[in-house]
């Protein structure tokens, strides 16, 4: 069995839901836009199609698109029989698909660094690098899952917001879902409250899909119900993802996160983010310096292609919000759970990472 066959054998494990994989000389992935109503597997055999899939968000989630970038460089190497210049061009094309996706840049660059020489040697080096990145990512998710699951007690109901799961990562559980599935597999009797996450409904569509797939008990709520649920003692813990964590622990995540955090403080519900130590941006002092991306009005005013408001209605769409560190109980990372004082304890993490 070749090294690539071994890697694919690993990815076919029933415990994984890989967002993208290699099969019969092609890349295959689940079109996440169609979930949960169709599990449509798309097949691409050239780099242009893959770039299109990333641009159109058929593949989404920072971990998943990073890995897709690495796979894309591998596909270009195979198709060009290891032509170095072609491989580098493919890397640049892939990086251009989502210009603000830091993880995609990093992963493609790391793969290109391995692109030494030409021909079969180059293909082999990239193959090894892709396997290394993928195994490292799976290992990261397992470690993060262990640290997070240690917090969760038998009988708890855990709330999450948006989607931070297997299909957004390498296939094990991404960030939040790694914590939840690890606790569940430890035999803990847990239930998950999934907030639907308007406007794009990632919670209702994709998080609920993964809960169902793994048989984890869950219920859906609208985003505006968490305060009531907490006032009734129906939520024991909240775990959300993060798009970016500032040096002081302030957290940018999908819009709505902040309001859940305010209600959590009011009702003494522990509030965590599950993230990677690489998501902490030590160059950003606090949440105030994080620019919040605004998106199109029509993403709010249309659901499933149908309008929900009078014609001409202009909606606002700040796509994430900032949760200040004083509302956080802890930051779950692959290296352990960080608690207050966040600035000091994150700095220690940074020092470790740099040594």
Residues noted as catalytic: 243
What does residue 232 show for φ and ψ, rounded to 5 degrees?
-100, 10
Q: Considering the rule CB under 8 A, would residue 209 count as an interface residue with its own copies?
A: yes
CB of residue 230 vs its own copies: minimum separation in angstroms? Answer: 10
131 touches 71 (CB < 8 A): no
Q: Considering the rule CB under 8 A, would residue 326 count as an interface residue with its own copies?
A: no
Q: Name which position in 21, 184, 258, 271 contacts its own copies (CB under 8 A).
A: 258
The answer for residues whose C-beta is within 8 angstroms of residue 155's C-beta and 6 or more apart is: 188, 189, 190, 236
Only segment of 8-16, 46-54, 85-93, 303-311 that touches its own copies (CB under 8 A): 303-311
d(CA 103, CA 38): 28
d(CA 195, CA 220): 6
Q: Name which position in 38, 43, 120, 303 contacts its own copies (CB under 8 A).
A: 303
Q: Name which position in 41, 43, 120, 292 contacts its own copies (CB under 8 A).
A: 292
Q: Considering the rule CB under 8 A, would residue 236 count as an interface residue with its own copies?
A: no
Q: Considering the rule CB under 8 A, would residue 157 count as an interface residue with its own copies?
A: no
What is the total count of residues that contact its own copies (CB under 8 A)?
A: 54
Q: Which is nearer to its own copies, 303 or 353 (CB)?
A: 303
What does residue 338 show for φ and ψ, rounded to 5 degrees?
-100, 130
Lookup: tokens for 101: 């996706």
Q: Name which position in 75, 208, 235, 240 contacts its own copies (CB under 8 A).
A: 208
Q: Considering the rule CB under 8 A, would residue 286 count as an interface residue with its own copies?
A: no
Q: Which is nearer to its own copies, 150 or 225 (CB)?
A: 225
**Three-state SS annotation for 95-160:** HCCCCCCHHHHHHHHHHHHCCCCCHHHHHHHHHHHHHHHHHHHHHHHHHHHHHHHCCCCCCCEEEE
Lookup: tokens for 350: 């940074």
d(CA 198, CA 299): 9
Q: Name which position in 19, 199, 241, 330 contacts its own copies (CB under 8 A).
A: 199
Residues in contact with its own copies by the rule CB under 8 A: 36-37, 193, 196-199, 201, 204-205, 208-209, 212, 218-229, 231, 255-256, 258-259, 262-263, 266, 292, 297, 300-301, 303-304, 306-318, 321-322
């Amino acid at each position: 069995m070749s090294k690539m066959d071994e890697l694919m054998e690993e990815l076919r494990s029933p415990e994984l839901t890989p967002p993208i994989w290699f099969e019969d000389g092609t890349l295959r992935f689940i079109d996440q836009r169609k979930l949960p109503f169709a599990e449509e597997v798309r097949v691409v055999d050239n780099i242009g199609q893959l770039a299109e899939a990333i641009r159109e968000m058929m593949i989404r989630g920072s971990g998943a698109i990073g890995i897709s970038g690495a796979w894309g460089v591998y596909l270009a190497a195979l198709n060009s029989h290891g032509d170095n210049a072609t491989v580098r061009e493919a890397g640049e094309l892939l990086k251009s698909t989502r210009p603000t996706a830091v993880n995609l840049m990093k992963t493609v660059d790391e793969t290109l660094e391995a692109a030494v020489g030409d021909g079969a040697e180059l293909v082999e080096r990239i193959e090894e690098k892709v396997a290394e990145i993928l195994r490292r990512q799976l290992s990261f998710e397992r470690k993060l899952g262990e640290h997070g699951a240690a917090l969760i007690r038998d009988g708890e109901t855990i709330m999450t917001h948006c989607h931070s799961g297997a299909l957004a990562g390498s296939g094990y559980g991404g960030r939040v879902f790694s914590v939840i599935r690890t606790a569940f597999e430890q035999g803990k009797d847990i239930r998950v409250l999934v907030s639907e996450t308007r406007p794009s409904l990632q919670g209702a569509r994709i998080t609920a899909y993964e809960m169902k797939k793994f048989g984890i008990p869950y219920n859906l709520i609208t985003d505006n119900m968490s305060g009531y649920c907490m006032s009734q003692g129906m939520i024991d813990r909240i775990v959300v993802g993060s798009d970016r964590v500032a040096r002081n622990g302030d957290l940018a995540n999908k819009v709505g996160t902040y309001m859940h955090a305010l209600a959590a403080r009011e009702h003494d519900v522990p509030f965590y983010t599950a993230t990677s130590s690489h998501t902490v941006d030590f160059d950003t002092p606090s949440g105030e310096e994080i620019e919040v991306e605004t998106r199109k009005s029509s993403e709010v005013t249309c659901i499933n292609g149908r309008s929900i408001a009078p014609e001409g209605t202009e909606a606002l769409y700040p796509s994430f919000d900032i949760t200040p560190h004083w509302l956080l109980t802890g930051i779950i990372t692959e290296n352990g759970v960080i608690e207050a004082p966040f600035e000091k304890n994150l700095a220690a993490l940074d020092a470790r990472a740099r040594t």
